[in-house]
Amino acid sequence: MKLLDGISLAKKIRDDLKKRVALLKGRKPGIAFLLIGEHPASHTYVTMKKKRCEEVGIFSKVLPLPVSISEKELIQTIERLNQEETIDGILVQQPLPSHLSTAHVVESIDPNKDVDGFHPLNMGKLLLGEEGGFVPCTPLGILKLLEEAKIELQGKHVVIVGRSNIVGKPLAALLVQKKAHRNATVTLAHSYTKDLASLCRSGDILVAAMGKPLLIKKEMVKPHAVVIDVGINKMETQKGLQIVGDVDFAQVSEVASYITPVPGGVGPMTIAMLLSNTLASYQKIS
Ligand code: NDP
């Protein structure tokens, strides 16, 4: 079994971005984070993203907004950022409070500044296989991990468990593209899927993105399969409260050919791809 090490690949990508940003004349790329309410995980994620921006020389600002903000006020804030010349990327940290429509908010972001890749225009380009849009960061990070390890996708059966708009669906669209080094056959599973275990066992590559701690067990994995664990779950263990994935790493690492650890697999790649999308946005806008 080999580890797909997201920490070292993400560092390599950040080091490269840092060199490219240092060469830019004039203003640096900029990103705005909109942080609504007091969601503790969202605060942690935004703090980490801001820190990584600073490390590579990307300007960032966090706009903390009250949980009571109306949709109209939030959209007006986004529209102002759409016009701001120093801002190349706008990220609204999800999940949003329930009185706000994620769709309305995402659609108000200028697609050219939508570095999360969640705007319908960018999602549409991804689905159509068109170049020039932003690809969501987690799927893009997974693709980079697979590419780095030279894992062939063509003709392989990829089973993705989880059909969210931020992970499962865009990842399926990315891997099924008719393009060199893609051309995978993709099955998207969800909570209504029957006999999940045997479906998972048919995957040459298995991606777990459910948010269900340690649900994927050894007997659900094809011998020598590549296993990508997207899940981030807090779980009480013998060692206290720990972050665990959706895959039972101790068991599954006995049968997998490659596996991502949690933490240290997909997570760091997601942030590295956000930085990469922000630089790409700067280069498109400037
Ligand atoms: P969502 O809750 O939006 O989606 C979960 C998906 O999993 C849904 O499609 C759901 O099915 C499916 N699902 C849930 N339980 C089961 C089950 N028992 N069997 C089969 N399918 C199931 O989650 P996200 O996509 O936002 O996130 C998934 C996980 O990935 C979370 O742990 C999250 O923290 C993590 N994450 C990690 C990132 C990273 O950078 N590493 C980035 C983004 C997320 P249905 O649609 O039927 O409800």
Ligand 1 atom closest to residue 141's alpha carbon, by position in its atom list: 40
- d(CA 191, ligand 1 centre) in Å: 10
Give tens-digit pLDDT for 226-271: 999 999 999 998 899 999 999 999 999 999 999 999 999 999 999 9
pTM of the model: 0.98
CB 57 within 8 A of CB 22: yes
Say what percent of the chain tops pLDDT 70. Answer: 100
| Residue whose CA is at the smallest distance from ligand 1 atom 41 | 267
Q: Which among 210, 234, 260, 269 is the best mutation to test ligand 1's pocket, defined by most ligand atoms within 8 Å of the CB?
A: 210
Token pair for residue 166? 């931020």
What pLDDT is attached to residue 53? 98
What pLDDT is attached to residue 285? 82
93 in active site: yes
18 in active site: no
**How many other β-carbons are positioned within 10 Å of the β-carbon of residue 86?**
13
Helix (H, G, I), strand (E, B) or coil at 57: coil
- d(CA 211, ligand 1 centre) in Å: 4
Mean of pLDDT values over 93-107 = 97
What average pLDDT does the chain have? 97
Residue 11 exposure: Cα atoms within 13 Å on the Cβ side = 5
Q: Which among 42, 48, 94, 167 is the best mutation to test ligand 1's pocket, defined by most ligand atoms within 8 Å of the CB?
A: 167
Q: Tokens 């599973």, residue?
A: 189
CB 197 within 8 A of CB 218: no
Token pair for residue 285? 């806008």
Between CA 126 and CA 136 the distance in angstroms is 9
What pLDDT is attached to residue 51? 98
What pLDDT is attached to residue 60? 98
**How many other β-carbons are positioned within 10 Å of the β-carbon of residue 135?**
23
Between CA 18 and CA 55 the distance in angstroms is 7
- d(CA 210, ligand 1 centre) in Å: 3
pLDDT band at 286 (very low <50, low <70, confident <90, very high): confident
List pocket residues of ligand 1, CB cut-off 6 Å. Answer: 138, 161-164, 166-168, 189-193, 196, 209-212, 215, 230-233, 266-267, 270
What pLDDT is attached to residue 24? 97
Mean of pLDDT values over 179-183 = 96
Mean of pLDDT values over 66-91 = 98
Identify the active-site residue in 88, 110, 114, 116.
Answer: 116
What pLDDT is attached to residue 46? 97
Q: What is the dihedral of CA 271, 276, 278, 283, to 10 degrees?
A: 180
Contacts of 196 (CB under 8 A, 6+ apart): 161, 189, 220
CB 170 within 8 A of CB 117: yes
Ligand 1 atom closest to residue 269's alpha carbon, by position in its atom list: 40
Between CA 197 and CA 25 the distance in angstroms is 54
Mean of pLDDT values over 201-210 = 98
Helix (H, G, I), strand (E, B) or coil at 171: helix
What pLDDT is attached to residue 125? 98
Mean of pLDDT values over 10-20 = 98
Among residues 168, 32, 15, the alpha carbon closest in space to that of 90 is found at: 32
Give tens-digit pLDDT for 101-128: 999 999 999 999 999 999 999 999 999 9
Helix (H, G, I), strand (E, B) or coil at 91: strand
Between CA 240 and CA 244 the distance in angstroms is 12
- d(CA 22, ligand 1 centre) in Å: 37
